[in-house]
Every structure is written in C-alpha cells, then in structure tokens.
Amino acid sequence: MAKDAKTEANKSKQSDKKRPSLFKRGKKPAKKSTKLKSTEKNSLGNNPVTRYLKGAWYELKHVTWPDRSETTRLTVGVVIYSLFFALFIALVDYVFDVGFERFII
C-alpha cells in the first residue's frame, strides 16, 4: 500500500513537470521596449529640436492606427455624444433661465 502511494506521488510530480505553469516565479513575460537604444540616442544628434522631432517620428512608427471603418464609427459616436451633451446643456440653461425669471422678477 505504501508503494502505491509513493508511485502515485511520483506520477503527480512528473505530470506537474510536463504541464507549463502560468505563474512561474522569477520570469515575467517579455515586453517590447519602446525606449530608444543607446545607439539610437546617439544618432539623434545634439540639437534638442532635432532630437525631439526624430524621437517623435520614432514613436509614431509604433502607433497602431485605426482603419477607415473604425475611424468613421468613432467619429459618428463623438458627434452624437456632442449633440446629446449640447442639448442637455441647453435644456439646463433654459430651466435655470425660466426659474430665475419667475423667482427673481
């Protein structure tokens, strides 16, 4: 009976070794760095304006731009939200205007 328990424990240890662990200690997922490397910093030049413009261009290369349909969808959403908010502000303004005229005058 004791041998069966030991073999079961060994089997479970071996099966744990085969399964990849999602939470390994000391190892973090690799992240793509967007920082400039030292060689890239040196190639930007000494002029602060030039360095800024080249650094901005470097960062713009890493931007994920939306496609045309997503841009259209988001633009329509912003316009609808802006109209709704403008109507809300106009309504609140009207209510305050009428309220102050009745109570003050």
Closest CA to 53 of 66, 64, 44: 44
Q: How confident is the model at residue 46 (pLDDT cuts 50, 70, 90)?
A: confident
Return d(Cα 74, Cα 65) in angstroms, integer. 13
- Tokens representing 52? 């800024």
In tens, the pLDDT along 59-89 reads: 999 999 899 999 999 999 999 999 999 999 9
Report the residue count for the chain.
105
> What is residue 47's predicted lDDT score, i.e. its pLDDT?
83
pLDDT for residue 105 is more than 90: no
Using DSSP's 3-state secondary structure scheme, residue 68 falls into helix
Q: Which amino acid is at 16?
A: D
Q: Which two tokens stand for residue 11?
A: 């089997």
pLDDT of residue 90: 98
